[in-house]
Amino acid sequence: MPSEPQVEIFGSPQELFAAAAKKFCNAGSSAIQDHGRFTVALSGGSTPRGLHQELATHFSSQLQWDKVFFFWGDERHVPPDSSDSNYRMAKETLLSKLPIPPDNIFRVPAELPDARQAAAKYEQTIQKFFRLEPDSFPRFDFILLGMGPDGHTASLFPGTAALQEKDHLVVANWVEKLNAFRITFTYPVLNHAACVMFLVSGDEKAEMVRRALKDPAANLPCQKVRPVDGELLWYLDKGAALRL
């Protein structure tokens, strides 16, 4: 039975990021104790920077980083050194600041000219890492997500084909309004996770957060993230929660 969203509201962005870092590390310690590793899918955009900074500073000694494995829930169709790259942002703000073995980092090969090929290769990487049987889905221990101003999450944008994908783990999704491909996890992967955390900050998101959490008829991409057997967390600061 999909879990109901667990909403946590914090007084400021700093308190939000500290609480998210604490939850990340608690989930990591439990996963490592339970099955020897912590598999994580990071999010893009700008909000995660605050969480990354907390993890890389106040929480840097709270996890056995050599047992943490990093993936991305989505990526722009750009090279890893592009200023638009989600991998580059995570590398600069988190991965380069902690003792994480390079072999524990699985970035999307988004430099490939063909976005579909990049998605297919990333899907194979995940299938190999999780030793998946055909037609099965990985269970990530922790998936971090943001929410865009249009209610998108990962690169699951309103009105795009990826919203309908039920079989693939990763797809190249054409986003007309960006005039670009994005590479993104699909809902089956997101909804197989043990824990999904939406991390949302700022009063500019308040109305969309209200619709996402209070208006089932809003039909927003982020509303379709409902882990079948896992935690669904919405971590908000006071600004983002203003309309709740």
Residues interacting with ligand 6PG, by CB under 6 A?
Answer: 43-47, 74, 86, 146-148, 152-155
Q: Under 8 Å CB-to-CB from 144, ≥6 apart: which residues?
A: 24, 40, 41, 42, 43, 48, 51, 73, 197, 199
Shortest Cβ 3–ligand 6PG spacing (Å): 21
SS3 of residue 169 by DSSP: coil
Q: Which amino acid is at 106?
A: F
User: Of 45 and 64, which CB lies nearer to ligand 6PG in the complex structure?
Assistant: 45
Q: Under 8 Å CB-to-CB from 211, ≥6 apart: which residues?
A: 151, 218, 220
b vs e for 48-72, b when ≥16 Cβ sit within 10 Å of the residue's Cβ?
bebbbbbbbeebeeebebebbbbbb
User: Of 148 and 227, which CB lies nearer to ligand 6PG in the complex structure?
Assistant: 148
User: Of 39 and 173, which CB lies nearer to ligand 6PG in the complex structure?
Assistant: 173
Shortest Cβ 177–ligand 6PG spacing (Å): 12
Shortest Cβ 180–ligand 6PG spacing (Å): 11
User: Of 32 and 158, which CB lies nearer to ligand 6PG in the complex structure?
Assistant: 158
User: Of 154 and 172, which CB lies nearer to ligand 6PG in the complex structure?
Assistant: 154
Shortest Cβ 240–ligand 6PG spacing (Å): 10
Shortest Cβ 91–ligand 6PG spacing (Å): 15
SS3 of residue 67 by DSSP: helix
